[in-house]
Each structure stands twice: as structure tokens, then as C-alpha cells.
Structure 1
Amino acid sequence: MIHTTVGQLGHFFVILSFVTALVATVAYFISALGRRAVAQPVVVEEPQLAYAGGASFGGKTSRRAVSNKATASPEAAPRDDWRRLARWAFYIHGLAVTGVGVCLYWIINNHYFEYHYAWSHSSRALPLQYVISCFWEGQEGSFLLWLFWNALLGAMLIRTSGKTWEAPVMTIFALVQAFLASMILGVVFGDTFKIGSSPFLLLSEAMPDAPIFTADPTFVPKDGNGLNPLLQNYWMVIHPPTLFLGFAFTLIPFAYCIAGLWRNEPYNWIRPAQPWTLLGAGILGIGIMMGGYWAYETLNFGGYWNWDPVENAVYVPWLVMVAALHAMLIAKRSSTGLKTAIILSITTFLLILYSTFLTRSGILGNASVHSFTDLGLSGQLLLYLMAFVVLAIVLAVVKWKHIPSDEKEASVYTKEFWLFIGATVLCLSAFQVIATTSIPVYNKIMESFGKVSNLALPADQIAHYNKFQVWFFVVIALLTGVGQYLWWRKVENKKWDALMTPAILTLLISAGLIAFGSIKNPVYMALLVASVFALMTNGTVLLGVIRGNYRLSGGAIAHIGMALMLIGILYSAGFSKVISLNTSGLLISKQDVFTKNDNKENKENTLLWLNQPERMGPYQLTYRGQYIEARDVPGYIPRRDVTVIEGDFRGIAQRDIEQNGKVYYKRGDTLALYPENTYYQVEYREPNGKVFSLYPRAQVNERMGLLASPDTRHEADRDIYTYVNSVPDPTADNKWEKTETYSVAIKDTFFLNDYVAILDDVVRTTDVEGMDIGPNDAAVRARVRVLSKNGEQILSPAFIIKDRMVGRRAETSDELGVRIQLNEIDPRTGKFTFAVNRTQRDYIVMKAFEKPLINVLWIGTLVVVLGFLISTVRRYREAGKMQRKVA
């Protein structure tokens, strides 16, 4: 059955969201044009700036009557009608966007695989949390998520921005929503021109030439392709929504800034925009770090940041947004700061659009593993970007004359000077990253003019970016200390004595860490000293601020968090140590020998045979076998305990499934599985005898092959990070070699797969698994002792006579790679005939790191977010007080 109604309803909501966004844009625009400010004296504080109109203000601040209260002109009544229309249009737009989301989730969750989006991104095997992740795996779903957050924030702005700012700010908001809604419109004109890509496209419409639809137009696949296995992680449930919420927040300062320029009020927009900018920077920052933690837990490159172009495309707008925040702080007292705040607030949003173009146009297809493929929307994305670039630049140029000018240059002893320097360094850091990341764009531009560009991305991108970014953040860390001291007037009368105490503490602590930590790299030394200096200075400031008013402590707390992050990055990346050194002499990777990799893979990977202990650094490691996950059973269960039904996402229990003393399934029960994941238990035994296990996993996926993900043990001072590099295909049946037969008497010796075996005895038994031995039946069990490097192992194949029929119960040892079966018993000669098959012994090739102080990085991230939240609350209250005063 094809469920077309929900798709048609969803497509209706898409069109409705686009139309209502356009209506809201036009209505808000007319309303904004019609409001005329009528002077009413309101006492406000203004900075020491000279405005282009001729008004100037003496002293650091002045109290004056300004015309900030907009009252109704004769045209106000009809314009209020336009504002009401715009509000209703935007609210309906928000409801329509929500309706689109509900329809798309309904299709995914109910497995309507006749829809291309559901078939491409989901499957019946996925648990609920990953079904949610399917929603935003594709481009259409991620655009929809972005639309939803913008609609929600727009509704909040309507309620909080006040009549003065609502119309101009929401004009920009609604216009952005119209562009975003067009990205999922899915309207086609002719054979080539289309606007957007619809998430409600039927599979038969997306693949009209597929033979199956020619034979059966009503064909519906039984299952979908499933979610990318690398995205099957709980961080992928919360990381994309957080990141897109951060994207949405960048629109608010942009809209306020454009509205301020539009209204010839280039300063007044900063106060209402500042709390939103703070909150947005905090959310976008934690969204980026969530992505880093996902990479750390899921990908096996041994880190959390790889300078991938898509990572860079999100990191750069965040840097510029933080720089804009610092510019806003000095805009009250510095024309340079005001102009910088305007430029950077505009640039932040434009960089978000640029990053969207980079990741969704397909231009990074050969440069990034994270970028989306081109859905034919590259032209539309470029139009989206250029429309707002032109709007912002033209408006800024036309209105630049209304921006005030400084009466005198800022002194090096002022906080404004150091905050401006800090914002400048952040922008330089962002420029270095985006300039290199955009090399594919340069090449594409050159190709469009018929030229051939020889520019290429750096061969070692990590080394390239680190070489510059480390020094940028050395300077930033030093500036946070100096800037905070100046901000709170710790440095007075042009004397820097107040910095002596934290500077001395910095030198003492750094010297100790360098000496006892054996830090020899000058770059690491510089970063460590700068980070400790930021900790000492901001810690001292924090103590002083908290004594007065804890609400003012946000900046110091955020800077302390940043310093902790830098220390965590320094130690976890700079002093990460491979502990899985190969001392066996075995050649693990033949390809590695013929590359310029200095035989690295052979040196840094260790081979573990099943149940065979190996020494690795201070640990004794033992590979204990393959495990799988069942939906209703906590933890992992041995793979040998379940026979997996391929393609059915279920299995049959071969013995009772028990965890923590509770039996979840009886032998023979059917249980639901997560079939793509196979976990490999690696037992670590510490020198003190303490034992713990890690379960790195390999995922088998038809589209992507075998993918490995790590498992990590978190300790106070370090992480132990383990992943498998090579494993036997867990979905492949054992390939047994040709049967060999051995006729031996009791106590005779023979060979099993290169091991010495001894037939110790053959005894009667009544215990044969899966079979009842009655009084008229007979069963014997052989006791074959196999001598291996790790001691002895007993194999006990059984020979059964039941109801006058002969049966045999073979025994298999994955550890030895042997299957042995007692085939015949000759009472005349006392000989026993065994059938033996050999196969590849179970093994893994694994790599393990120790990452010192990586938890300091994650703790620092949380501290930064706390600082942003405290600052947001403070600035929100200040903006609320000012709004009430003006009203």
C-alpha cells in the first residue's frame, strides 16, 4: 500500500510555509517603512562619540534626552494592521514548518519506504533514537531543522523585541525563512529548472527509470538503506539540533544589525542583540564540541578534531561570532569597536551561509568525508548567499555615514584597545582557516573562467592548521589575562604591578610542569605558559568579582574554561602515546612496508589471538571474543550464544541469556538484535591486578563495508582509547578446510591445527547438549587434551546412539580454529576415528592510545558554556531594563 496522503499533506505545508514567509516579509517591510519616530525625551547613557549628524558628547558618558521612543505617526494605525498581518503570517509559517516536520517524521517512523527520504536514510532495524537521527541525516531534513529553529526564535523575538525593533528585525527573519523554505520546496519547471528538493518525493518519482517500477508501479521496498553506521551514536541525536540552533542564533545579531543600519541607529541595536549573541555563541560552541566528542567516540583516527573542511566551515563562524561579542563590549566607547561589531555581526551570518554552500553544493566532495552530495541546489545556494551579501554590503555602505567617529585614539592602557586586539586576533585565526578551506572554491572559480588552477589542499592538513592556530591561541590566551585585568581596572595609572603576582605564579607553575612533564617542544612550552597565565589572571579576577557580584563573573569564567580547554588540547594531542606496540615481529600490514609511512602501522598495531594474553605496556591484554547487542538486554552478549537470522534483525538464543542474575531469554527464544554492530571484548589487566574490559566495535554495512569505532576507558588523569584495525568478517561463516581423519587409541598423540593433541579417555555420559539420553540409549564423550602456548584446552566431542540411530556432536574451538567430531569407535582395535576441520583462528588487530588530561578539555568546554550563560543572563536583564526605560 502506498501512503500518498501524508506526503501530499507535507508538501502542502511546505508550500504554505514558503508563501507565509513571503507574506510576513512584505507585511513587516511595509510596517517598518510606515513607523516614524516622534521625539519624546528619554534619559539614556551614551558613549563619548561624535555622530555624523553633528551631535557630540563630552566626558566618558553623558545623560541626554534622546528620541528613542517611537510613537504613532498619522500613518501608524494602518501600519499596525500590516504588523498584525505579518505576525499572523509568521505564526502560521511556524505552524506550517512544524507540520512539515511532523509529516516527515511520520513517514520515517512508520517505515513508509515508498518515499525516497525514508528509504534512503532509515530501516526497520533502527531503534527510536536513531530513527530520530534519520530525520536530519539528509539535506532536506537538516534544512527543515534549521527552518524550525528560526521559526521558534522568530516567535520569541516577536514577543520580546518591542514595537521599535519588531518590524525591521522580523523583515530580515522572514526573508531568511523564505529562502530556507525554498530549499525544500521541490517545485520543478520543465526538465531542468527546479526550486528546492522535496523530502516527500516518492521513490518511483526519484528513480523513474528503475526497472522495478516499470514492471510494478506500486512496488514498495520491504526495508530501507538504513542510517549511516557512523551516525548511529547517541551524540548524533543531540549534536545536529544543537548545531543548527547555533546557526539560527547567528541570524538574530545579523537581523538587529541590519535593522539598526536601516533605521539610522547604528548603536542602539547592540544592547538588545548582545544577550542573543552570547547565548548563540555558547550554543554554537557546545554544538561544535559535541561533534568533536562524537568523532572521538565514533571515528578511529584517535582524536576529536581533524581539521576537516566541514569542521572548519562551522568553526570559523564561531570564532568570528566570539570576536563580534568582544567588539560589542567596546562599541559603547569606541567608534572602531562599533564599526567592528557591525562588520563582524554581518560576517558571522554570511559565513554560516557560506559554510552551508560549501557543505551542500558538492564542491567539497573530494576534500571532505562529511560534506553532502550535490542535490542540484548549488545554484540556489549561491543565490541565497549572494542575496544577503549584496543586501548587507549595500546597506552598510549607504548607512556608513550614520556611524559615529572617535574623538581620539584609544590608549594602550584602555580595555577597549586590548579587547579590539583580541577580536582582531580571533578574526585572523578565522581567516587563516577559511582561506585554506576555500581552495576548492578558488579552483572552481578559475575553472568557470576557463583557467586551470594548481592550488591544492595541504597534504598534511592537521600539521598545516596546527602550525598557525597554536600561535594564534597563545596570543589569545595572553590577551584574556591582560584584557580582564584592564576590564576590572586592576591596572591603574599606567602601572602593571597588579599583573606581577599572576605572572610570577605562572612562571613557577609552568616551570614545574615543563620540568616534571619533560616538555621539550618550544611551541608546547609557549602554549602551556600562555594557558597557565590565562588561568592565573582570570582566576584572580574571578575571586575579586565574586566577592562583589557573581552576576558579573561570566567573562572570567568563560576565559578560565578556554584556558582549561587549551591545556586539555595540549596534553591530549601533544602527548598522546601509542601503547599497542607490536613486539611480535609479525608483519601486520604489507602495504605499509611500501609506503613512506616508516612502517608505522606495523609498529603501532598489536595482534591478539582469542584468549591468548599479550603484554602491552603496563597492561596484560586478552581478546575474549565477539559480542552483540540485543534490544531488551543490557550490555553485550556473546555472539556464540545467539544464531543470527540474517536480514531479519532477530536471532535464536542457543542458551539462556542472563545478565546480572536476571534471565531475559530462555534457550530457543527469539530475540531482537542490532545486527550491524559486533563488539570485541578486550580484557585489560593492570599491574595491581585490577581488570577491566573495553568493547571496540566493527559495523558491517552493505554500502560502506566494515567500519571500526573505538571504546574508551575514562580515568581521572587520562583516557585509554582502543579500536580494532582488522577483524575477520563477523557476518561470514567459518570457511572450514578439507576434513582430515585421525585414528588414535587412548593416550595417543596427534596434531590439531599445528597443536599437539592427546586423547586422554573416552567415557560414558548422559549429558549431551540439546539431547535427552534415555535408559535404552548410549552416549560417550571423548576427552581430547590440546597443548598450546597458553596451557591446555579440553575438547569433548560426543558419539550418541539413540533409538538405534547414530548421532555425533562435534565441538568447535574458535581459540584453536578447530572443529573435531568423533566419527567411529572400533571395539576390536580400541581405535577412535576423529574428523577434524581447520579454519582461521579468531583474532583482532587493535590499536590503543593513552590520552593524558583529555578530561580537562571536556571540563573546560562546560566551564566556557557556564560563563556564556552567566553573561547572557546579565546582558538580558540589562537589555530588559533599558527597554522598559525607553517604553
Structure 2
Amino acid sequence: MINTLIGDVGHASVIVAFVAAIVSSYAYFMASRAKIVASGDNSWRKLARGAFYVHGFAVLMVIFALFNIIYEHRYEYYYAWSHSSNHLPVYYMISCFWEGQEGSFLLWIFWHVLLGFVLIRGGKKNKEWEAPVMGIFSFVQLFLTSMILGVVIGDFKLGSSPFILMRDFMTDAPVFAMDPNFVPQDGTGLNPLLQNYWMVIHPPTLFLGFAATLVPFAFAMAGLWKGNFTEWIRPALPWAHFAAVTLGIGIMMGAYWAYETLNFGGYWNWDPVENAVYIPWLVLIGAIHTMIAYRRGKSGLKASFILVITSFILILYATFLTRSGILGNASVHSFTDLGLSGQLFTYLAAFAVLAIGLLVYNWKKIPTTEKELSTYSGEFWVFIGAIVLCLAAFQVLFTTSIPVYNSFLGFIGIESNAALPADQIAHYTKFQLWAGVGVAILTGIGQLLWWRKGDKGGFTEAIMMPGMLTLLFASLIIVLSKLGVIGNETIDNPIYITLLVASLFAVFANMSIILNLLHKKVTLSGGAVAHIGIALMLIGILFSSGYSNIVSQNTSGMVYSREFPDDINRDNVLLWRNTPVEMDKYTVSYHGQFQEIEGVPGYVNRELLFPTADEYKAIARGRIQVGDKVYFETGDTLNLQSPENTYYEVQYKEREGDKTFTLYPRAQVNPNMGLLASPDIKHFADKDLYTHVSSVPDPNEEKDWGDLKEYELAAGDTIILNDYVAQFNGAEVIKTVPGITLKEGDVAVQADLKIFGEKKTYHAHPVLIYKDGMAGYYPEVVADLGLRLTLMNVDPAAGKFKFGVNATQKDYIILKAMEKPFVNILWIGTIVMSIGFVMAIMRRNQEGGTPKAARKQKEPKKVQAA
């Protein structure tokens, strides 16, 4: 019988979490009413806290239950069956947890719980904010928890439960009609592209960023709700920094995962799902700048409200885009529709209407200042920077939302055939590149005017040294590129030169700020450090994307296949096994197929592995050792880590020099997804050599072996096989055959043939078994030489052995390789940017520790609409 206890516990915990979120949100709403706060009655607040704690405990129970069904391989549950399998290591089981929609919603809910606990703890010191902020938090949790509620009443469905049984999900499957208690022996497994360590850490980081955007939104909403229009900025600003850095790191982790795992040759493909996260991050960065401007000059409060609210609404819109199924085939990694599109739209609409309604209602009450911003004031350039960021976000948003427009028009009866741009990379880049130029210039000018004297003379003095250094280094880089010292192409594109100059200016301008702040307080320079990081990222993007160089150009004049796209025939090199080919400045050769073996570092040649009925086990055909250490002896049974993955050994040798290195690009031919290729990357100081396979022979297709040729040989005889010299050394009776049980009376004979290849000598050991009066043939395939050798008969009296030999096309791969110059600058810039944000968080937290001083400041009188 199926044990449903853990699923019942999990589903009951979801219900408890949902009800507790309702209670908490209502109790916090009541606690927020002015008269109750004034009277000192804490009963509603205590009830709200208690309900939120219950909600948090219930969420932890849901997480425990869901991970238990994955970890224990409880395939009676659809979630475990559809996302995991028996042979996944524990760290990939963690990835299984959030591969599905329900698990990712649960991860989002979990982060909200932890952030809520932190806010409650902080609320005990600052009680005026706890109730309204946590009221918003609990209300959001109510909506999110409803997404995994899984309650069905007639045709009405509220949420999708991760604890649904297979027999309830697949009601039409014949197997459940025959046996309602049927449980599959194995699951379908984790998406092969997600079997990467970045997928263990990238989603939690990204969802923490999603969750953290709720905090500044909740403070802004609380400020509007309670009429406290100014002081919400102080507690919200550190959280806005935290949300921005976490979301930014999460985005770049996803970019690096794509760089390491996908084969489009980069880290960003302007996929709608990538865009959906990038858009709110840009707006949130703009919000941070307007909030800082208000803290300093009491201007930009309304802009801060708008941008903070917009960033959270865009997070909800991104959720709707990626999970409603509305993107269809427009994205390679959006979720399929689980019937939650209506719920997701309600979630988005509820908070959009609530936030916009509160903002409109209080618009005229929000304080403004009549202070005019000078062209030489830092605040002015901060606002210009926020505008540039928002325009960049809007451009991406407008195009990404084309499927939404089509769906909406279709819903109201208007047919629309609008399509996303055919070349999305070119479409977005031509706009975003200029946005990058604007951001770089503004981060330099804005910082100089922020920290220096705000007049023409002071600005001229401040800009002089960074400007001179910029021109010097930009000229030097261009000249070195022309001489071939930097990269493979001359930097002569005017747009790229503009971006390079702007980014260098941002670096030097912000470095001058840091040097001037060293004698004060280190944390004051957090903004300058972050801006340097962003400028470095722009430089890294410029070189690695703008000057990426394909080194695997097809110079043979041969078309590999008319079925291949033009780029494969043009930009790839064909490598026959063990046949060196000249490729740009390298001599490159392919040396066979390898696999990962548990307990063995690196990769093991498949020629040393004898397959068994269990695809995850093999028998060693020879000694397996790395260096001087022997890991397995001949005949030992070993475990394969991922038998579906093949690693292709590709050796590079620089033609001008003696440097050699070996890469192992990975690929698998998936029956549902086709060829899934992941690159291997050689990292140099000034570039990455990015290598992946574009085509391999289909391992699922039977090889087209030529006609069988028979040879009768005696020990010591020599013959020619497929242009190779082969020598028969003799044969022996063996007592064990890998994968075969020999009984008394069975005889196994193993031959030994030595074949002399171009680069190495091969030993083939075909086996002939006489078992139960019948002959069984176990041929040896020498893939390097395209030979299959079969021992067909033994004549002991004459000392003769009959062999059958088939020949086929030699093994090959079609390989693409490209150089990514200075891509390391992008990753270094990401780290520098993150350090700057952390410094800014530390500074804002220190400032937030003195709220009494802030309360003494009077709000500026409202004199005009901002």
C-alpha cells in the first residue's frame, strides 16, 4: 500500500501556513490602527506575531515534507517522480526541490519567512514600523502560500500542491486503472542542464533577491498607509541595497551558469526569462539612487515612492511572465502553465492596484521641496542616472512583453501576430549599449559632483585628472589593439570606443573619490566601489562580447552536412579521432570518449569500461590509475556518475611554443531534447578559450558496419585491417568474463590482437564463449580505428583461429571554439560591485542606528508638486 503520511503532513502544513498568514495579516492590520497603537494595547500585535511564527513553522514543515519525498525517492508522489531519480547525488536533489513551480514558490515563501523574522526582531526596537510593514509581508505570504495550496472545488482550483499523488495527477494512465497502488521504480530525473553546481546556489540567491525587494516596498507602503511619508526611507534604504546586491549576484550567477553549461557561446542571450529579472533590478538601482538623493537633499521623495513600488510590481510581473505559460516558445527556460495564470494575474493586479491606489490617494500629501537642482549638484545627476536606468528597463520590458500584448488582444477578440525580434541579441544590444555609455558617464560625473564642491570651478578641477587618465589609457588600449598586443581585432568601432572611454572615465573618477575618502571613513566609499565594479563589468562585456573571436573556422572548403545550419558548417572544425588539425594558432586533436567514475579524479577512457545491464555500473577492462595511484584493478565493478554524459578529450597545442592543454567538453544525446552540449573552458589571464561540441555521431543509432571479412590466423600471423597492420599474438582460455556467469562445462576463449595505429598501439581482445552447447560472440570494437573484431571459431587441432572483421567510419566530433578576451574583467567587476554594495549596507545600517537624530529633522514644507 502507498504510504501517504508524509504527503498528508505536508499538505496539512500548507493549509496551516495559509490560515496563519490570513490571521497574521488581519491582526497586523488591526494593530496598525492609530487608536490601538496610541492606547498601548499590544494584544493584536502579539496575536499577529504568534500567527506569523506559526506560519513560519508550518512553512518549515512543508519544506521538510517535500524534501523527504525527494530524498527518500517516494515516486508515488508526482513531484518526486517528475523531478528526481535514484542516482542523483544529494546536492542535485536540492536542485530538484526548486526545479518545479511549487518548489520554487516554496523557496520564495521560505525567504520571506526568514526576512519576516528579522523584521519582527527589529520591530521590537522600532514598534511604529512593525505592524504596517509586517501587515504587508503577511498579506504577500497569503498570496504566495495560496499558490501551493492545491485545493480543488468543482472546476475551481486554488494553487498546485507538490504533494499530489501520481495516481491522482495521471488519472488517465492505464497502469493506475490496473493497479491504483502502482509506484514507479525510478523517476524521470533532473533536467540535464540543471545538473550543475551553480543550479544549487543560483536559484536560492535569486529568490532571496526577489524576497528582499518586498522589504523596501513594504516600508514604502507602510509610509503611505500611516501618512509617515519621509522616515520610511531610513529603514528601507539598507534593505534596498541588500535586495539589489543579492538580486544582482543572483543574476550574474545565472549568467555564469549559462556560460559554463549552455552552448550558445556566452553568458547572456536576452532570453525573456533573463530579461524579466534584469528589468526590476535596473529599476531598483534607480530607486536606491533617488532614496539616497532624498536622504541628502530632501528632493526626489515622490520618485523614490514610484521606483520602489515599481521594482516590486515588476518582480510580480516577472513571476507572471515566467510561470503563466504566456511566453510559450519565446523562452527556453520558462515554466509551463499549471493552471495558475489566473491566480498569478490576481496576485499581480491586487498589489498593483493597492500600491498605485495608495500612492495616488496620498500624492498631494507627499512633501516636496522648492529647492532647484543646479547642473553642478550631485542630486541632479543622480536623477538623470535614475532616468537612464528606467529607460533602459522600459526598452527591455516593452519588447519582452510582446507575447503578453498578443495574449491580451486575443482575449478581447483582436488577432495579433506581433513577434519578438528575429535577432534579439542585436535588437537589445543596440539600445542597451548606449544605456551602458550613459550609466558609465553618469556614475563618474555624478560621484565627482556628489563629493566635490558643486560649482563649475570645483567640477573642472575634479574632472581634470580622471579625464586625462581616461584619454591616456583609452589611447594606449586602442594602439595596443592595433599592434595585436591586446585581442585579435583593432578597436575601431566608434560605439565600442565610446563605451570604452565612458567606462574608463567611470573607473578613474570613482577611484579619485575613494582616494579622497581614505582619510575619512572607508564605508563612505561604498558607492564609488560599486560604481567601479559596474564600469569594469561594462568593459568586460565590451571585450568578451564585442570582440569574441571564433578560432574554429572551417577552412577545408567542405560542407559537413546540408542539414546543418550555415553557422555549423562555417564556424566549426571536423575532428577525426587521433587526427591532428590546424586551427588558428593551435593544433587540435580529438582523442576519444571519457566518463566520470565515482572515486576517480578526472575522467576515464570508455575503452577501459565494460558496460553491464545496469547503466550506472561498469567493469574495469584494465587497470585504472591516475598518476601512481591505482583506483581499480581489471575485473573490478565500478560506479558511473552520469552515464548519459560523455566527455570528449580534445588536446590543444600552441603551434608557436610547446604549451599543450586538454579540454573535456561534455555532451549527451537526449531522446527528448536532442544534443545537449556543455563547454569546457581554458582560462588565461587575458582571455578564455571556450570549446564545445556542435555535433557527434548519434550513439542511439546502430553503426553502419561494412561487410564482414573473415581471416583464418595462427599465432604470430600479420594482416592488414583497414590500412592498419595487425598481429595475432595468440589466445587463451579464461575463467571469468565481465558480466557473464560461467558454469562448469562452459568454455571462454579470449584472443589477443595487436593493431599498430598512427600514434599508438591498440590491443583487441574478442571473446568466444561455448555455453550450454551454443557459441556466443563478444566482439571488440576499436573506435579509434573504426574496427570491430569478432573471434568466430577455434580449431585447436590445427591451431587456427577464424576472425571476422568489420570496418566503419572512424569516430569524430564537430567542434566549435572561440576566444573571449578579457571576460575575467566582467566577473571581477561583479565581485567589486558586490563589495561596494556591502560597504553601503554597513554605512546605512550605522546611520540607521541613530533614529532619534533623524526624528529631530522637520519635514520640508510642501510648496509645489514635484
Q: What TM-score, normalized by structure 1, do the two folds share?
A: 0.89
Find the counterpart in structure 2 of residue 845 from structure 1.
814
Q: What is the CA distance between 1:469 and its match in structure 2?
A: 0.2
Aligned pairs (5 A) from 1:205-354: 205-332=168-295, 337-354=300-317
Alignment CA distance shift 1:799-1:870 (3 Å): closer
Find the counterpart in structure 1 of residue 148 from structure 2.
184
Find the counterpart in structure 2 of residue 175 from structure 1.
139
Q: 1:589, 1:601 within 8 Å by CA — same for their partners in 2?
A: no
Q: What is the CA distance between 1:332 and its match in structure 2?
A: 3.3
Inter-partner Cα distance in structure 1 for 2:811 and 2:233: 64
- Match of residue 699, structure 1, among 650, 668, 676: 668
Equivalenced residues, count: 834
Alignment CA distance shift 1:800-1:650 (3 Å): closer
Aligned pairs (5 A) from 1:453-602: 453-489=416-452, 492=455, 494-495=457-458, 496-517=460-481, 518-592=490-564, 599-602=566-569
Inter-partner Cα distance in structure 2 for 1:7 and 1:794: 56
Q: What is the CA distance between 1:636 and its match in structure 2?
A: 1.4
Q: What is the CA distance between 1:654 and its match in structure 2?
A: 2.3
Q: Specify the code of the residue in structure 2 equivalent to 1:677.
A: N
Q: Does 1:409 align with 2:376?
A: no
Q: What is the CA distance between 1:610 and its match in structure 2?
A: 1.4
Q: What is the CA distance between 1:613 and its match in structure 2?
A: 1.4
Q: Specify the code of the residue in structure 2 equivalent to 1:657.
A: I
SS at match of 1:723: strand
- Match of residue 606, structure 1, among 573, 578, 588: 573
SS at match of 1:136: helix
Q: 1:335, 1:404 within 8 Å by CA — same for their partners in 2?
A: no
Q: Identity of counterpart residues, as a percentage?
A: 55
Q: 2:568, 2:694 within 8 Å by CA — same for their partners in 1?
A: no
Q: Does 1:397 align with 2:365?
A: no
- Match of residue 741, structure 1, among 710, 715, 722: 710
Q: Does 1:21 align with 2:21?
A: yes
Q: 2:213, 2:240 within 8 Å by CA — same for their partners in 1?
A: yes
Q: 2:716, 2:730 within 8 Å by CA — same for their partners in 1?
A: no
- Match of residue 651, structure 2, among 676, 683, 694: 683
- For residues 119-176 of structure 1, the C-alpha deviation after alignment (integer angstroms, 9 at most, x for no partner) is 0100001111100000000000000000000011011001113201000101100000
Contiguous gaps of at least 5 residues in structure 1: 37-71
Inter-partner Cα distance in structure 1 for 2:854 and 2:737: 87
- Match of residue 665, structure 1, among 628, 632, 639: 632
Inter-partner Cα distance in structure 1 for 2:329 and 2:782: 45
SS at match of 2:694: strand
Find the counterpart in structure 1 of residue 399 from structure 2.
436
Q: Does 1:122 align with 2:91?
A: no
- For residues 165-191 of structure 1, the C-alpha deviation after alignment (integer angstroms, 9 at most, x for no partner) is 00010110000000000000000110x
Inter-partner Cα distance in structure 1 for 2:730 and 2:97: 61
Q: Specify the code of the residue in structure 2 equivalent to 1:690.
A: K
Q: What is the CA distance between 1:670 and its match in structure 2?
A: 2.5
Q: What is the CA distance between 1:648 and its match in structure 2?
A: 4.8
Alignment CA distance shift 1:282-1:743 (3 Å): same
Q: What TM-score, normalized by structure 2, do the two folds share?
A: 0.91
Alignment CA distance shift 1:799-1:717 (3 Å): closer
Inter-partner Cα distance in structure 1 for 2:672 and 2:775: 46
Q: What is the CA distance between 1:843 and its match in structure 2?
A: 1.2
Alignment CA distance shift 1:825-1:670 (3 Å): closer
Q: Specify the code of the residue in structure 1 equivalent to 2:601.
A: P
Find the counterpart in structure 1 of residue 386 from structure 2.
423
Inter-partner Cα distance in structure 1 for 2:46 and 2:800: 99
Q: Specify the code of the residue in structure 2 equivalent to 1:645.
A: T
SS at match of 1:591: coil
CA RMSD of aligned residues (A): 2.9
Q: What is the CA distance between 1:752 and its match in structure 2?
A: 3.2
Larger displacement relative to structure 2 (341-350 or 809-818) = 809-818
- For residues 714-739 of structure 1, the C-alpha deviation after alignment (integer angstroms, 9 at most, x for no partner) is 11111111111111234666554431
- For residues 332-370 of structure 1, the C-alpha deviation after alignment (integer angstroms, 9 at most, x for no partner) is 355651111000000000000000000000000121011
Q: Specify the code of the residue in structure 1 equivalent to 2:105.
A: F
SS at match of 1:590: coil
Q: Specify the code of the residue in structure 1 equivalent to 2:114.
A: L
Alignment CA distance shift 1:489-1:644 (3 Å): same
Q: 1:332, 1:338 within 8 Å by CA — same for their partners in 2?
A: no
- Match of residue 593, structure 2, among 626, 637, 645: 626
Q: What is the CA distance between 1:2 and its match in structure 2?
A: 1.6
Inter-partner Cα distance in structure 2 for 1:659 and 1:248: 46
Find the counterpart in structure 2 of residue 87 from structure 1.
49
Inter-partner Cα distance in structure 1 for 2:370 and 2:661: 67
Find the counterpart in structure 2 of residue 101 from structure 1.
63
Alignment CA distance shift 1:416-1:802 (3 Å): closer
Q: 1:605, 1:847 within 8 Å by CA — same for their partners in 2?
A: yes
Inter-partner Cα distance in structure 1 for 2:435 and 2:27: 46
- For residues 21-43 of structure 1, the C-alpha deviation after alignment (integer angstroms, 9 at most, x for no partner) is 0000000000001457xxxxxxx
Q: Specify the code of the residue in structure 2 equivalent to 1:173.
A: F
Find the counterpart in structure 2 of residue 752 from structure 1.
721
Find the counterpart in structure 1 of residue 484 from structure 2.
none
Inter-partner Cα distance in structure 1 for 2:794 and 2:171: 65
- Match of residue 602, structure 2, among 622, 635, 649: 635
Inter-partner Cα distance in structure 1 for 2:314 and 2:645: 38
Larger displacement relative to structure 2 (446-455 or 418-427) = 446-455
Find the counterpart in structure 2 of residue 5 from structure 1.
5
Inter-partner Cα distance in structure 2 for 1:620 and 1:707: 26
Q: 1:609, 1:844 within 8 Å by CA — same for their partners in 2?
A: yes
- Match of residue 612, structure 2, among 645, 661, 675: 645
SS at match of 1:175: helix
Q: 1:361, 1:381 within 8 Å by CA — same for their partners in 2?
A: yes
Inter-partner Cα distance in structure 2 for 1:719 and 1:750: 46
Alignment CA distance shift 1:10-1:806 (3 Å): closer
Inter-partner Cα distance in structure 2 for 1:232 and 1:798: 37
Inter-partner Cα distance in structure 1 for 2:674 and 2:136: 46
Find the counterpart in structure 2 of residue 60 from structure 1.
none
SS at match of 2:32: helix
Inter-partner Cα distance in structure 2 for 1:627 and 1:267: 63
- For residues 778-828 of structure 1, the C-alpha deviation after alignment (integer angstroms, 9 at most, x for no partner) is 999786665x7x467566668999999999986542111012356679999
